[in-house]
Amino acid sequence: MQKAKFYTKLENKKVQCLLCPHNCIIANGEIGICNVRKNIKGELYSENYRKTCSLSFDPIEKKPLYHFYPGNIIFSVGSIGCNLKCKFCQNWEISQTKVSDFNYLQNYSPTEIIEKSKQNKNNIGIAFTYNEPTVWYEFMLEIAKESKKIDLKNVVVTNGFINEKPLEELLNFTDAFNIDLKAFNNNFYKQQTEAKLEPVLKNIKAISKKGKHIELTNLIIPTLNDDEKEFREMLKWIANETGQDTVLHLSRYFPNHKMNIPPTPENKLLQLYEIAKEYLNFVYLGNISTSKGQNTYCPNCGELLIKRTGYSTFIKNLNKNGKCKYCKEEVVKLN
């Protein structure tokens, strides 16, 4: 364990965690909503500090990040815990558990993580993923600081539900984010995730304003967040706040955890894909077997720039600076 950052002491040995917008008030001996931050005698500790559940070299497209060093490998690291309670969670075995209940955690120091990341000479950096990485904040930050010293890239795959001060500090050591924008409806967030929409929107804007690479993922769940009018409002917000070049991944939902709604109909996903293309230049489809919504085309001249088959990525007409070879439009991050 490690004493946590971002909390304040209260009376009767209670503490208030200030890491995320839940701002949990935690009594002595209890844990926060994330299941991994515990009050021990009036001090808040990170129980999952240095504890990992998975380490793996992945295609960066798997995060998913399609415009950040496409075709490269990144070292993925993750732990357990999450500050959301999504009824449809695909990783609930690790996100909705406690350190005391999970028997497969391994301990690593930041140096050991960095050394493991160097075992693949093609690795470009470290991706904090699998569970919600912000509840692993102290260890994530230590690793990110060390990795930047040797010019590795730091990627955060997150729900975006974090307070302003922790995010500001994290932004000093991170390069790219994929944020799961689960819906454009606060009632959805409240009922399906036990969280709120507004902090996520605020953080998307803050990350974009800081100049960090950002891609968004929207899991389409039938009857819950697939309303066309609401979907268009989300697209307008993205285009206005972070720009038409913001990458959006539309992902097909399948029943999982506590939700048994049937899978997203393919025709519905394709319909929303066509709508999204009216507002954004780069829209992709995930969790679906189709050639549509996989490749990257220049928004200026229409040339094929990146061809994708599964997680196999083929750079076609990009120069070394990530610009279209034909019209010099800047499209992806390559250096």
pLDDT along the chain (335 residues), means of 10: 96 97 98 98 97 97 97 97 97 94 94 96 96 97 96 98 98 98 98 98 98 98 97 98 98 97 97 98 95 95 95 94 95 89
Q: Measure the CA–CA gap between 209 and 226, rounded to whole angstroms.
A: 28
Range list of H helices, 223-263: 228-241
What pLDDT does residue 174 have?
Answer: 97
pTM over 0.85: yes
What pLDDT does residue 335 have?
Answer: 78
By C-alpha distance, which of 120, 119, 180, 117 is closest to 153?
Answer: 117
* Cβ atoms < 10 Å from Cβ of 281: 19
CB 238 within 8 A of CB 248: yes
